[in-house]
Amino acid sequence: MAEFQGIFPPAKERSTQLAVAATTSSADIVIGSSSSETIFVITASGAITIRFGNATNIGNADATDWPIASGAVQEFALPTGCDRFRVFNTGAASVNVNYWGLAKN
């Protein structure tokens, strides 16, 4: 059964923001796989890529991962076996990345 994204409110009032330096991968951003926050929304002030994984297989994000354009807003449900993601800043200047976990209930 499909889950419609428009019905999921943010799980908390404010986003989590992190700065990612130019051509750098962030550390793990752990969302969790058993909580109601397995769906999240992400946006950034510059172009980034995103990589999904878990504690044993994530590796550093790089320019070949899923692209997210500057200012775009994208929603993701973490894939089976994944509880975290990393982002890679593809640009020449630091970018701010904002993300919110979304509540299913």
Please give the sequence-ordered ranges of beta strands (E in DSSP) within the chain, or none if there are none.
Answer: 16-20, 29-30, 39-44, 48-53, 66-68, 74-77, 84-89, 95-102
Taking the domains of the chain in order of start, what are their residue ranges?
9-102
Ordered alpha helix ranges (H), 1-105: none
In the three-class reduction of DSSP (H, G, I as helix; E, B as strand; rest coil), residue 92 is classed as: coil
Q: Is the pLDDT of residue 13 over 50?
A: yes
Domain 9-102 carries which CATH code? 2.60.120
Residue 83 contacts residue 30 (beta carbons within 8 Å):
yes
Calculate the average pLDDT of the chain: 87
Q: What pLDDT score was predicted for residue 42?
A: 95
Q: Is the pLDDT of residue 35 over 70?
A: no
Q: Is the pLDDT of residue 100 over 80?
A: yes
Residue 73 contacts residue 41 (beta carbons within 8 Å):
yes
State how far the Cα of 14 lies from the Cα of 67, in Å rounded to an integer.
24
Q: Is the pLDDT of residue 1 over 60?
A: no
Q: What are phi and psi of 6, to 5 degrees?
A: -65, -10
Task: Dump pLDDT digits (tens) for 58-98.
Answer: 999 999 999 999 999 999 988 888 999 999 999 999 999 99
Q: What pLDDT score was predicted for residue 43?
A: 96
**Model pTM score:** 0.85
